[in-house]
Structure formats: C-alpha cells, structure tokens
Amino acid sequence: MNLNFSPEEISFQEEVRDFLKQELTQDLVNAAKHTSAVFTEKEVAMKWQKKLANKGWLVPSWPEEYGGTNWTQTQRYIFSSECAKAGAPNLIPMGLAMIGPLLLGKGTKEQKDYYIPRIISGEDYWCQGYSEPGAGSDLASLQCKAERVGDEYVINGTKIWTTHAHLANKIFCLVRTDNSGKNQEGITFLMLDMNQPGVKVEPILTMAKDHDFNQVVFTDAVAKVSDRIGEENQGWSVAKYLLEFERSGGIGGSKSLSDLDFIRRLIKKISSTHKDSSFADTYNTKVAELEIKALSIQYTSLRILSSLTKGDSPGPESSMMKTLVTDLEQEISELTLEVIGYYGIPFQDTSLGSNKPAIGDEDYRSIAGKYQNLRATTIYGGSNEIQRNIMAKAVLGL
Ligand SMILES: Cc1cc2nc3c(=O)[nH]c(=O)nc-3n(C[C@H](O)[C@H](O)[C@H](O)COP(=O)(O)OP(=O)(O)OC[C@H]3O[C@@H](n4cnc5c(N)ncnc54)[C@H](O)[C@@H]3O)c2cc1C
C-alpha cells in the first residue's frame, strides 16, 4: 500500500497551506485557542465559515450543485488535517453537520433549494431541539406536542440543553403528533423560526461559566407544514438519520493529533526548567500512547468516509466513532491538565475579548475550562453508554 501523497496531492496540500496562510488570521487562531467552550463562539466560527464559503471549501462532502468540492478522500483528509494543524476554529455543527446533510438526504427539492444556500451563507443559524426534561437518552419518550391547524403545526412544550438557541434564528425539532402507538411512532420532524412570539429561550450556564445551552419553551409556536421533513408521524427515522451524521463528525483524529502536538510543546517548555529528564520522559510516553489511538481513529474514520462517498449514511459505525473520538478527547484534556500541574487550579477568564492576563503562561489559560467542558462530549449527541448499547445490538447482534 502506498501511503505517500501523489504530486497532485502535494500541490493541493500547498494550495491549502497558502489559503490558510492568507485567510486564517492570527486573531481567528487566538480566539479558537482562547476559548474553553465546547462550541466555538458564534462570531468567531461565522467569520471562518464566511472565508471558507467564499473560497468554495465550506462543505466539501456535499453534492457539487449544493456547494460541494468533489474532492477525493485524500484531499478531504489533507484539508481537515491542515486546518487542525494551523489551529482553525471549529465550525458550528447544527447547520453544516446536522440539518444540512439531513436536508440533502431527506428534504424536498424546494427545502434544499431554499435552506442549503442560507446554511452556507450563515443567513440561517440553527439549533437542535431534540432533548426534553425527561427525554434525553430515552429520546422517544418526548412529549413536546404539535397539533395540525390548516397549513401549520401549533407547538407546545419544552426542549432542554439546546445549544446556541439564544443565538439561532432557526430550530429543528422533534415533536409528538400522535400518542396512540409505540413511543417511536407519532413523532414528527419540524423546522421553525426562533424569532416568533411563541418561543422563549432561558439560559443554562455551564460549570466553567460559559453560556452554551438553554431551555426553550414553546407556547403556541408555529411551524409551516411545508417545513416538515418526512411524513407526519415518521419523524423517528428522520431523527436517527440526522443523529448518524451528528455522531460521525468529520475526519476523527486530526484535531487530536494537533492537540497532542500542543502538549508536546508544553512539555518542552515546562521541562526546560526541570533538572532531570523524568518529567519529559513520563509525559512524552503518555503523549505517544494517545498518539497511537489518534492515528488508529483517523484511519478508521477515513475508511468510513470512503463508504459515505458511495451515498450510504454513516450507520452504526457513527456510534463507534463518537465513542472513540470523545473518549480520546477527554483523555487528551486530562493529560494536558496534568502536565500544567497547579496552574490548572485557578479560574481563568476565557471569554471572547477578555484582556485579563492569564495566570502563568498564556498557553495555560483555557486548559482547565476545556477539561471541564469536555466532560460534555461523552453525553451530547447521545451518551457513550447509549452508543455502546447501539453497537452491541446493531454491530455485534447481541
Ligand atoms: C454540551 C451539551 C450540549 C447539548 N446540546 C444539545 C442540543 O443542542 N440539542 C439537544 O436536543 N440536546 C442537546 N444535549 C442533550 C444531550 O443529547 C443529552 O444530555 C443526552 O442525550 C443525555 O440525556 P440526559 O441528559 O437526559 O441524560 P439521561 O438520559 O438521564 O442519562 C443519565 C445517565 O444514564 C445513562 N443511561 C441512560 N439510559 C441508559 C441505558 N439505557 N443504558 C445505559 N446507560 C444509560 C446515560 O448514559 C447517562 O450517563 C446536549 C448535552 C450537552 C451535555
């Protein structure tokens, strides 16, 4: 097997590097590094999204008529690893990695033609209304109710943990339209406006003091029937299709490899003040162990991506990737915290635009906050325990 890039791929890599040198400005890299939140601040993410959209590189895997690049797997791998290496901000997934792919796979032509360009331009900023108080892992027990009145649905109920609902102008939601059958039956998938009188957003702060998510209360909120994806009462299969995209993420491992490089630089800096080499030896060994995991995840995700180009949806492999990537992210954040020792203890201000000096080195600023916030990754998108249940059933046949 030839693992070297071809001359065309090397020239593509140079093109990507040139683009990043020009467009990925230091303020964007610093803002991405500064934040401890799981999701990049909207302002930062959208600035980066606009630059990628202008270049035509925002949604490489989408069909060309809807903004895709028709890149090969290797090109996509090169692009994503160069972005990770250069410290590019993460993009917000609710539009680009959830409702976008869902519309492409299950939306009507009218829905695609209307919504896809608005996702790419950032005109629509989406949030996801799946979870409810009492319906998280057991999502099918959701109770938020929608009643059909003419050309509209009227919605009443509560959604919770809704990331960026306070910033979004659109929400995609699972609602109950029938109570008579099994829980999975009678669920409908709707898209609606956040900016309407029947929608109230109440903030929930994280333990690192970030405002990422919210409770959303619907009181006679309305959605157009034409904004339903799939048939009425058939929303469960639509919801699962979207979750497969949410869980599979992009090319897993690239971001982890660049996070491990960051730990290596920290170790080098800190060990220059140590008299013996045991500090560097111990932690470099731990970094190497995690690097092996990151590389194996990267190869696995490339294999999965290659099957997606044949038009498949990610399937239960997405549960495997979600579990592997998020467990590794947590291990890396734990190791980073361990490396900086007691500099991980004080609260550091990571809010956008803050000019409070960091305690210790500037590189330490977001480490403890990231460690705390990354606890969430094994919970959101369906907890890792639930993913293991799915793998046991769908992959192992247990
Ligand atoms: C940062 C963050 C962002 C989020 N953003 C959104 C969002 O934008 N939109 C949205 O709709 N939701 C969002 N969520 C919600 C997320 O999807 C739920 O938290 C998740 O599905 C778990 O549900 P729950 O919190 O109700 O926990 P529960 O379902 O009550 O689970 C509690 C614990 O029990 C375990 N458990 C439950 N059932 C089983 C079982 N059958 N087998 C084994 N273990 C089980 C779980 O793994 C978990 O450890 C977000 C969550 C977080 C943390």
Ligand 1 centroid to Cα of residue 151, in Å, is: 33
The amino acid at 11:
S
Distance CA 197, CA 275 (A): 65
- Mean residue pLDDT across the chain: 91
Q: Is residue 61 in a domain?
A: yes
Q: Are residues 159 and 262 in the same domain?
A: no
pLDDT of residue 311: 61
In a domain, 304, yes or no: yes
Q: Whose CA is closest to 332, among 278, 292, 383?
A: 292
Same-domain check for residues 215 and 276: no
Give the separation between CA 103 and CA 122, rounded to whole angstroms.
16
Transcribe 180-208 into DSSP letters: SS-TTTTEEEEEEESSSTTEEEEEE--TT
For residue 336, is it within any domain? yes
Calculate how far, in angstroms, residue 246's C-alpha sits from the geometric centre of ligand 1: 14
Give the residue, 192 or 350, on which the prediction is more confident. Answer: 192
Give the residue, 284 or 277, on which the prediction is more confident: 284
Pocket of ligand 1 (CB under 6 A): 38, 127-131, 136-137, 161-163, 213, 376, 379-380, 382-383, 385-386, 389
Residues 357 and 278 in one domain: yes
User: Catalytic site residues?
Assistant: 246
Is 119 inside a domain boundary?
no
Residue closest by Cα to atom 50 of ligand 1: 380
The reply to whether 367 falls in a domain is yes
Task: Report H helices in the chain.
Answer: 7-23, 26-34, 42-55, 73-86, 93, 100-106, 109-121, 235-248, 254-271, 278-308, 317-339, 367-373, 384-390
Mutate to test the pocket of ligand 1, among 374, 380, 388 (most ligand atoms within 8 A of CB): 380
Q: What is the CATH number of the domain that holds 304?
A: 1.20.140.10
Q: Are residues 188 and 69 in the same domain?
A: no
**224 and 261 fall within a common domain:** no
- Check if the beta carbon of residue 332 is closer than 8 Å to that of residue 254: no
Which neighbouring-strand residues pair with 160?
A: 215
Is 28 a member of any domain?
A: yes
Instruction: Provide mean pLDDT across the span 13-30.
Output: 96
What pLDDT, in 10s, does the model give residues 105-155?
A: 999 999 999 999 999 999 999 999 999 999 999 999 999 999 999 999 999
- The reply to whether 281 and 360 lie within a common domain is yes
Looking at residue 1, its pLDDT comes to 43
Instruction: Report which ligand 1 atom has the smallest distance to the Cα of 134.
Output: 26
Query: How many separate domains does the chain show?
Result: 3
Residues of the chain above pLDDT 90, percent: 71
Together in a domain, 66 and 17:
yes
CA pair distance 82, 57, nearest whole angstrom? 13
Ligand 1 centroid from CA 213, angstroms: 13
20 inside domain = yes
Q: Which domain holds residue 336?
A: 249-395
Looking only at the bridges linking them, the beta strands covering 187-193 and 228-229 are antiparallel
For residue 279 the two structure tokens come to 């500090």
* Prediction pTM value: 0.90
Count how many residues are written for the chain: 398
Task: Take residue 394 and report the two structure tokens written for it.
Answer: 């769908």
Residue of minimum CA distance from atom 37 in ligand 1: 137
User: Mean pLDDT across the stretch 302-325?
Assistant: 76
Highest mean pLDDT among 13-17, 31-35, 307-311, 383-387: 13-17
Pocket test for ligand 1, best of 128, 137, 377 (most atoms within 8 A of CB): 137
| Same domain as 386, residue 318 | yes
Co-location of 295 and 387 in the same domain = yes
Q: Which of 212, 235, 258 is the last residue of a domain?
A: 235
C-alpha–C-alpha distance, residues 34 and 42, integer Å: 14
For residues 101 and 155, what is the distance between their CA atoms, to the nearest angstrom? 25
What Å distances lie between residue 66 and 57, 60, 146, CA to CA? Answer: 12, 10, 31
Which of 98, 139, 161 should be mutated for ligand 1, with most atoms under 8 A from CB?
161
Among 127-141, 162-176, 251-265, 297-311, the least confident range:
297-311
Q: Are residues 266 and 353 in the same domain?
A: yes
> What CA–CA distance (Å, rounded) separates 239 from 185?
12
pLDDT in tens, 278-302: 999 999 999 999 999 999 988 887 7
Q: End of a domain among 69, 91, 113?
A: 91
CA nearest ligand 1 atom 29, residue: 137
CA-proximal residue: ligand 1, atom 23 (nearest):
136
Both 381 and 257 in one domain: the answer is: yes
Query: How many CB atoms neighbour CB 227 within 10 A?
Result: 19
Tell the residue number behind the tokens 């992959």, with chain if given.
395
The pLDDT of residue 3: 58
Nearest CA to ligand 1 atom 26: 136
**Residues 260 and 214 occupy one common structural domain:** no
What does the buried/exposed string (b/e) look like for 308-329 if buried means 16 or more CB atoms within 10 Å of the residue's CB? Answer: beeeebbebbbbbbbbbbbebb
* In contact, 244 and 382? CB cutoff 8 Å: no
Cα 359 to Cα 29, 106, 154: the distances in Å are: 20, 49, 51
